[in-house]
Every structure is written in structure tokens, then in C-alpha cells.
Amino acid sequence: MSNTVWLIPLFPLLGTLLNALFGRWIGRHAHWIAVPALACSFLLSGAVFLRVWNGETFRGDLFPWIEAGTFRTAVTAQVDPLAAVMLLVVTGVGFLIHLYSAGYMHGDPGYARYFTYLNLFVFSMVMLVLAGNFLVLYVFWEAVGLCSYLLIGFWYTRKSAADAGKKAFIVNRVGDFGFGLGVMALWVALGTLDYGTVFDEVETLSPETATVIALLLFMGACGKSAQLPLHTWLPDAMEGPTPVSALIHAATMVTAGVYMVARTHALFERSGVALDVVAWVGGLTALFAATIGLAQTDIKRVLAYSTISQLGYMFAGVGVGAYAAGIFHLVTHAFFKALLFLGAGSVIHAQGGEQDLRKMGGLAPRMVLTTITFLVGAAGLAGLPPFAGFFSKDEILASTYHRGRLWLWALLLLGAFLTAVYIFRVVLLAFFGGPRMSKEVAHHLHESPPVMTLPLGALALLTAVAGVAVGMPSTQGTAFARFLSPVFPLSEEVGHGGLSAYALLVLSVIVAVVGLLFAWLLYGSRPIKVEAIGRPRNRLHALLLNKYYVDELYGFLFVRPLLRVAGFCARVFDLGFIDGIVNGLGQLVVGWARSMRRLQTGYVMNYALMTLLGAVVIVGFLLSR
């Protein structure tokens, strides 16, 4: 298996290098390198998956890496059921997004550069998933941050895009500051960073130490997966090309945090407290972001807050110990969120770059394929049966309920209602009702080319069948959970059998349907007054429109004070004080010398007088002893 495993990241890496070095000559043919590279990775991931299905696992070192004294690490990869699933999702969804990009980015002057970054992104994510120790994880953890920086700021001439890229990197760095400390603390505590050894010896850690380390690692997860309070970069990340948003939100990057917590769950369980923190941060973020999603007018921003919210669900799931449920939601979310973003991209593409929901409407008859697939995605997100999101979200809700976390459960249920409201609001505003775009835009409306609709179809199919195929609840857990059971042992209450389980299922459906109806009541049942959308109606609405003023708060608390302190240090302290002392010393010496110079009058008489005086003083001194 060793060769196959190492080939999976190798292909996108080669694609990156080829397009980076020869992109100038490859130009508009860049996709002929990037897309097949991903296809190869995907096929190899499939092969690896089948081997894992048959019970094989893999673990191997490529070469020894950073070493000093007792600190020994290697570039290690490992494949177990969890990694195998992630590989399939990353390379599979990644491949579809690559394919779609070939259409979406057609004619962009930075075409080769785009595919360079895209391949690099998938390479980094594949390595992050394959990592067999914390250091490799950390490296590619930062590497995906870099890729997001490059891709969000892809259209770098726009200041907003460059700003957004920088913000993504820096906010992620704040998280990685914690993550890095966590990794170091782990090494100091256990003397190793290898997954296997760490998880075996985790019992030797005191719960307090485990809590500190786990929370530090989770800080990184908050940054990467855009959870409170480090969520601010993700909505701005919409500045990147839309397929990039799909890649970031679905297949790569943001899922890394959930994956990491699931992967290192032994550590979080040893702490206990840390797991609760994960659950609550997840639950609160889920609700928090969903409320913001209700009010946004930019189609991609709604989806961005939706991602934050859905990641909150995943964290809530892993936080209550339902790791398989959390990862299952990660997978289904990858399908339907990629679908929604690519669908939104198709809409934006058709409208010549317009992202404002207020200027859409009535697209359904003109873009049938996009509309149908978007609807499937929306149903998946809202949790309508039989689409995938229904099964995965219900698993999380049921797990919180069965484990007695009723408050958390209530929070998530409320979130589920809001989710249905905001996503069907988007559907109704974009695809139904009367068209609100300008005549010229309306004239040019067209369905996207097959290279773009094909991925939409594939993702819609996955969203439709994934839940039924592997997510059916049973007394032995879902098929998905059983596959992951070597990593996450099935827990006792896993069956979720009995009346309460069915009652919960029905409740989920009711909540989603009520949300749908509510959205219809507001946006579908009567003609839309476009002036009323996006204008603050009351205090609460203003709060939501302004995203709870978190960006403003951070600006006030961190950004501006930092700049002010830096300015003070540079201009006042460094130049004024320190250099003032230095230059002052210099002037002192020069001044002293200048005053001494006056003694050198050049008159022999003066010197003779001084000599005489000196002699008198010395003789006087000697006599007086």
C-alpha cells in the first residue's frame, strides 16, 4: 500500500510544480495538468479506500525530518478508516471542483496561477489528512492556511480581495499560535509527537495538562474551522473565485478543525472539560452564524455563514463524543455545500458576476439544471429527508439528546429551523419570483456549460443518495459509523432505538418543514419588496445585518490599538527615546570636547600660567600631607 499512499499527494504536488514553473507557457491549458492530477489522486484514494475496507491500514515514514536531541520527527503518513474517508472526500470533491473551475475560470489572465494554487491546496489537505504525527499535521495545517491566503486574494488587484486573503492568514495564525503551543506542550509532556504513541500514553497525562493541550489545539481548530471567536475571516473569504469558496468550505481547510478534534479525541476525552468546550463552542457558533445568515443579501455570504453554522454542528457532534456522526456530517456537508457554492457560482457566472440576491429572481426557467441541483443542495442543508444532510444532522441531534445535553440539543434544533429558513430564503429570492436584474443582464442569462453542470449533477446525486446509502440509523449504528469503528469505537447507546429515536426524527423533519414554510411565507407567498431587503428594520435586524459588529469590535480592541502601539514604539520610543540617548551621548562628547577646546588658546603665556598653577596645586597637596 505504501507506494499507492504516497502517490496520492504526489500528483497534485507535481501539478503544482509544473504549472508554477511552466505556467507562463502552459497558460490556458493549465487544466490539462491540474484536473488529471486530481483524477489520479482520486482513483488512488479509491484504491486505498478498498484496501482499508478489507481491513488493511498503513503507516510509514518518508524521511526523518526535524531532529535535535531527543526531539525526533519524521515525515510520517498513516491511513486508517478515518483517513481513507477523508481522502475520498478531499480528492473526490476536489476533483469535481477542479473540473468546474476549468469552465468557471475560463479566460482569466491568471489561469495557470489559479490551478497552481488549487493543486497546492489539495496537496496540502491530502497531507494534512495523511499526517501520522502532530508536526506533519501542523505543517500542512499552516499550508492550507497559505493556500487560502493565495486563493482568497487571487484577484489581487482588488483591495478587498487582498485584504480578505491577509485577514484569513492572520486570523488563522492567531489560531495556529495556540495550535503550535499545543503541539510543543504535547512534546514536552510526552516526549513524542507520533499519533500512535501519544494516544497510547495519553492516560499518563494529568487531566489538567490534557485540558491545556487540548484547548490549545482547539484554538487552532477555531481558527481553521472558523468557530467563535475566530470566525471573522471566513465570510470575507468570499472575495476569492467561487470554486475556491467551494473548495475551502467543503473539501479542504475548514473541515480540518473537525478532523483534527476527531483524530485526537483521545486527548480531548482525557481532559473531559475540553470536550465540553468543543461542544458548546460548536453549538453556540451553529446558532450564532445561522442568525447572521438570515439577514445577509449576498448569496455567497449566506452560504459562508451557513458553513460556519454547519461546522458548529460538527463540533457539537464530536464535542459530545459522537465522532462518527460529526465526521459523517462533515462528509455530507462537503457534498451539499460544494453543490450549493458551485450552484451559486453558476448563478453568478450567468449574471456576469452579480452576487446580490436583490438583483436576482426568476432564474429557474432560464437555468433548469442549476435550479434543480441547487434545490437538492438546499434540501440537503435544511435536513429534509431523504437527502444526506437529514441523516447526518439527525445523528448529531440524536447524539446530543441521548447523552443528556438537552440545552445543546435545543440550541441545535433552533439552529436547524433557522437553517431551513435562510437557505430557502436564498432559493426563493434567487430562482423564483419575478426577475429583478437589469434588462441587459437578463438578456445574457444562460445555463452554464457542461463542464460546470456535470459536477453539479454529480454532487446532487451524492447529496441525494449518500444518506440513504450509508447513513440509515440502526441498532448497530449507521454503516458509516461501523466503518469508522476501528477509530471511534461504537458506543452503547448508539442504537438510538425505541420510541424517542423516532420521535426525534419526526421532530427534525417538522422543524425543517416549518422553516421552509416560514421562508415561503416571507419571500414566496407574495411579491418581494426589494427595498425592504438588506435595510435595517429594527435593532435586532441591524445587529444581524452588521454581523453582531464583531469585526468592528476586533478593530477597536486589537487592530487599532496594535497599530497605535507600534506607531508609538517606532516613532516615539525608538527614534525619540533610545536613539535620543544614543545621539545625546554623542552630542555630549562633542560638546565636552568643544568646551575643552577653549583651553587650547595657543598663547604661550596662558599655558605657562596653567603650568604654574598646576605646579602650585601639586606642591601644595604634597606639602599638606
Residue 283 to residues 288, 318, 337, 447, Cα–Cα distance (Å): 9, 11, 19, 38
Question: Which position among 65, 199, 518, 554 is part of the footprint of another protein (CB under 8 A)?
Answer: 65
Cβ proximity to another protein, 67 vs 493, nearer residue: 67
For residues 549-588, which are near another protein according to CB under 8 A?
Answer: 562-563, 565-567, 569-571, 574, 578-579, 582, 586
Cβ proximity to another protein, 223 vs 283, nearer residue: 223
User: Smallest gap, in angstroms, from Cβ of residue 446 to another protein?
Assistant: 30
Cβ proximity to another protein, 117 vs 335, nearer residue: 117
Q: Report how far residue 415's alpha carbon sits from residue 291's, in angstroms, rounded to the nearest whole number.
A: 8
DSSP bridge pairs for 74:
64
User: Smallest gap, in angstroms, from Cβ of residue 418 to another protein?
Assistant: 34
Count Cβ atoms within 10 A of the Cβ of residue 545 and give its class: 0-12 exposed, 13-18 middle, 19 or more buried: middle
Question: Which position among 17, 47, 174, 461 is part of the footprint of another protein (CB under 8 A)?
Answer: 174
For residues 114-153, which are near another protein according to CB under 8 A?
Answer: 135, 138-140, 142-143, 146, 149, 153
Query: Under a CB-based contact definition with an 8 Å cutoff, are residues 133 and 76 in contact?
Result: yes
User: Smallest gap, in angstroms, from Cβ of residue 591 to another protein?
Assistant: 16
Question: Which position among 1, 17, 181, 375 is part of the footprint of another protein (CB under 8 A)?
Answer: 181
Q: Report how far residue 118's alpha carbon sits from residue 113's, in angstroms, rounded to the nearest whole number.
A: 9
Question: Which position among 14, 47, 184, 414 is part of the footprint of another protein (CB under 8 A)?
Answer: 184
What single string gives the DSSP state of each residue in 422-445?
HHHHHHHHHHSSS--S-HHHHHH-
414 in contact with another protein (CB under 8 A): no
User: Smallest gap, in angstroms, from Cβ of residue 261 to another protein?
Assistant: 20
Q: Report how far residue 76's alpha carbon sits from residue 130's, in angstroms, rounded to the nearest whole number.
A: 8
User: Smallest gap, in angstroms, from Cβ of residue 310 to another protein?
Assistant: 28
180 in contact with another protein (CB under 8 A): yes
Classify strands 58-68 and 71-79 as parallel, antiparallel or unpaired: antiparallel
593 in contact with another protein (CB under 8 A): no
Q: Which amino acid is at 296?
A: Q
Q: Is 356 left (phi over 0), alpha (psi -120 to 50) or beta?
A: beta
25 in contact with another protein (CB under 8 A): no
Question: Which position among 4, 7, 10, 163 is part of the footprint of another protein (CB under 8 A)?
Answer: 163
Residues in contact with 99: Cβ distance below 8 Å, sequence separation at least 6, in sequence order: 35, 451, 454, 455
Query: Under a CB-based contact definition with an 8 Å cutoff, are residues 508 and 390 in contact?
Result: yes
Binding mask 66-85 for another protein (x = CB under 8 A): xxxxxx--------------
Beta carbons within 10 angstroms of residue 284's beta carbon: 18
Cβ proximity to another protein, 444 vs 571, nearer residue: 571
Beta carbons within 10 angstroms of residue 572's beta carbon: 11
Q: Which residue intervals of 432-484 are DSSP H helices?
A: 439-444, 450-470, 479-484
First to last CA, the chain: 98
108 in contact with another protein (CB under 8 A): no
For residues 187-226, which are near another protein according to CB under 8 A?
Answer: 187-188
Cβ proximity to another protein, 200 vs 574, nearer residue: 574
Q: Report how far residue 415's alpha carbon sits from residue 411's, in angstroms, rounded to the nearest whole number.
A: 6
Instruction: Output the nine-digit C-alpha cell for 4.
Output: 499507492
Among the listed ranges 163-171, 478-486, 496-504, 535-543, the one in contact with another protein (CB under 8 A) is 163-171
User: Smallest gap, in angstroms, from Cβ of residue 172 to another protein?
Assistant: 9
Cβ proximity to another protein, 134 vs 422, nearer residue: 134
User: Smallest gap, in angstroms, from Cβ of residue 146 to another protein?
Assistant: 6
User: Which of 99, 57, 62 minimizes the C-alpha distance to 79?
Assistant: 57
Query: Under a CB-based contact definition with an 8 Å cutoff, are residues 289 and 304 in contact?
Result: no
Cβ proximity to another protein, 69 vs 620, nearer residue: 69
Q: Binding residues for another protein, per CB under 8 A?
A: 63-71, 135, 138-140, 142-143, 146, 149, 153, 156-157, 159, 162-163, 166, 169-170, 173-174, 176-177, 180-181, 184-185, 187-188, 562-563, 565-567, 569-571, 574, 578-579, 582, 586
